Structure 1
Amino acid sequence: MAGEFDLIRQFFTRSAPTVLVGVGDDCAVFDVPAGAQLATSTDLLLEGRHFFSDVDPFKLGHKALAVNLSDLGAMGAKPIGCLLGLGLPNFNAPWLERFSAGFHELAAKHGCPLIGGDTTRSEQGIVISVTVFGSVSPPFLTRGSAHEGDDIWVSGALGAADVALALLMKAQQGETLSGPEQGLLQKTRAWLEMPVPRVELGLALRNLAYAVIDISDGLLQDLNHILQASNKGALLYVSQIPVNPAIAGLDQAQKLKSVLGGGDVYELCFTAPVSAREKIRTVGDELGISLSMIGSVTTGHGLKVLDEDLIEIRDLPSGFDHFR
């Protein structure tokens, strides 16, 4: 019977020219470019909490790394390596083949080789922990750097991942999805299970943006992290917030909830001076990423959202909170 070290050798050992000592030793050793500092982030994914048990393991491998690369993108850091901790109920070779393929494919795309980690048997389903390392130089893109008068931008389009999650949860609870709901799930599911980390955008924003965050828990909640850290307020315009075309047919209330409060997006929300508008638009064109200006940073505290008639929306959706 294959054991832990066979699992590591077969599915998670890859060579990488930038890694001096990698998988298979007590510690990994890797270089950080001269003059740069090390940026690091970690995320934990639990079966039944962060992903459904029947998810395609290739997509799960992709997402496990993508959500961490998204954090590096928000810091304007260049990926240089990652660690993987994996708790499994059993040795499932076909599952491991698919999971590792999805993980390694995204790692190769962003130059972020797997350099170490740990595996163990889990009694409570699949547990995944990923830690990423990146190189970054000042000025750092932090949450606390927004300035009064800054434009507020967001990349991509919002809402599809939240709709897919709601539909999957409905099915998980034993309810039968209608034909239109099944069609909607097909159109939105990839946005939930295969997010695109905006690493290249984060690098391109290093000398243009002030404060940056990735949208993991909802646009309003994550933007509020920027505002609180920067001691600022903000004004957002619903008419300017990009809605994913996959959910365009939903009623306005449903769209508003998913766009403003829905998590698992992994797009970047950032503030930048008015003088940077044209350069930011050029960055979006060069990278092929839609960038939308959705509001502005104000003095004081609090976040106001105006509807299409410029009337303030009072009943705003909340974002995701693990303990709420």
Structure 2
Amino acid sequence: MGEFELIARHFTRPGRSARPALALGVGDDCALLQPAPGQQLAISTDMLVEGRHFLSTVAPERLGHKALAVNLSDLAACGAEPLGCTLALALPRADETFVAGFARGLFALADAHGIELVGGDTTAGPLNLCITVFGQVPAGQALLRSGARAGDELWVSGGTLGDARLALEVFRGTHALPGEAFEAVRRAMELPQPRVTLGLALRGVATSAIDISDGLLGDLGHVLQRSGVGATVEVDALPRSAVLAAQPQALQHECLLAGGDDYELLFTAPASAHAAVLQAGRQAGVTVTCCGRIEATPGLRVINAAGQPVPTPWRSFDHFQ
């Protein structure tokens, strides 16, 4: 199977009705996007490299899902509505079974969010996936990292954090779980759910937002730096699964605070907007949990339910450290 046959067979879907924002899709040298009047384009790119971001054992369908999900999560953190995406795909060989499964997973999530694949590139090389997503957000309404203010409450989306990191530790051989428990945390690692609907519902409510990709402490640190504030996180308030809750406390804390790969939203909102945040969560069908507060004093502090400091010896993920 040649390059253009691969594209035509697995990544071209003729006869589909284009969204108004998609003036021209697959088939020319460029796609053409036409945002609605008064909208700004929101653009994000993420690369997934085999051995660095995913294991060779992952099912192709799940890999297709995750490749798009991690990008949609960035749009969610910005409060942007997804419009379309491009895919740059490097393959060691044209493996029809792999490509077909990957495309199914990618398009299933794309269809769930009403977006189209509008272009990209394929080449031979080590397995590498690079997706760029395009979204739109009303001018001046994007959620940014720089809006947190002293007195804001700190929130996190989702019913659980840390499961993806726990799954990784099992893969690494540093921890063991029985089959059913392992499959539960593996699903969290391989099938993250981008919180796009929640991001839209938080526009005008949240003061800042970021998605948790490299670990809660590290990602929160980006918000604090951009906003010029500090924060206290209540570790016992962080949502966790029954599987993670059954593990030693030190492992729980590491997975919750420094695990990464959660792709939940971490956001801030004024204390006066507490009820509005809960309503946004109900509207989006997503659990939201208040887990701390923003403070004027610089620095990031972690405490337990008794108010005692919790050691945080970990560093968030960094590709070059």
- TMscore range, shorter length: over 0.9
Q: What SS class does the counterpart of residue 130 from structure 2 fall into?
A: strand
Q: Deviations over 1:277-298 (max 9, x none)?
A: 0111112123221110011100
| Residues 41-73 of structure 1: CA deviation (Å, up to 9, x unaligned) | 000111111111121000000000000000000
Distance 2:65 2:38 in 1: 31
CA RMSD of aligned residues (A): 1.4
Instruction: Work out the CA distance in 1 between the residues paired with 2:278 and 2:62.
Output: 31
The aligned counterpart of 2:262 is: 265
Match in the other structure for 2:119: 116
Identity of aligned residues (%): 45
| Residues 104-136 of structure 1, C-alpha deviations (whole Å, 9 max, x = no match) | 1101111221000000011xx211000000001
Match of 2:148 in 1: 146
For structure 1, which segment, 184-193 or 220-229, has the greater mean C-alpha deviation from structure 2 after superposition? 184-193
CA–CA separation in structure 2 for the residues paired with 1:247 and 1:237:
17
Match of 2:46 in 1: 43
TM-score when normalising by structure 2: 0.95
Find 2:183's aligned residue among 182, 186, 191. 186
Q: Distance in 2 between matches of 1:116 and 1:10?
A: 14
Matched, 1:307 2:304: yes
Moved more, 19-28 or 262-271: 19-28
Letter in 1 for 2:290: M
Distance 2:157 2:241 in 1: 11
| Counterpart check, 1:130 vs 2:131 | yes
Matches within 5 A, 1:164-313: 164-170=167-173, 180-313=177-310
**2:86 match: secondary structure:** strand
- Structure 1: gaps (5+ residues): none
1:310 & 1:243 partners in 2: Cα distance? 19
Give the drift of 1:16.
4.1
Contact 2:237 2:305 in 1 (8 A): no
Does the 8 Å CA contact 1:231/1:300 hold for their aligned counterparts? no
Distance 1:108 1:146 in 2: 33
Return closer, same or farther for 1:315/1:38 CA change in 2, 3 Å cut-off: closer
After superposition, residues 83-102 of structure 1 pair within 5 angstroms as 83-102=86-105
Letter in structure 2 aligned against 1:21:
L
In the other structure, the counterpart of 1:13 is: 12
Asked whether the equivalents of residues 219 and 259 of structure 1 are also in contact (C-alpha less than 8 Å), the reply is yes
User: Residues 238-285 of structure 1: CA distance to partner in whole angstroms, max 9, x if unpaired?
Assistant: 221111233121011110110011110000000000111011111212
1:107 aligns with 2:110: yes
* Partner Cα separation in structure 2 for residue 58 and residue 127 of structure 1: 15
Q: Write the letter of the residue equivalent to 1:53.
A: S
AA in 2 matched with 1:296: R
Partners of 2:243 and 2:287 lie apart in 1 by: 15
Q: Is the 8 A contact 2:201 2:283 kept in 1?
A: no
For structure 2, list consecutive stretches of 5 or more residues without a partner in the other structure.
none
Q: Helix, strand or coil for the counterpart of 1:145?
A: coil
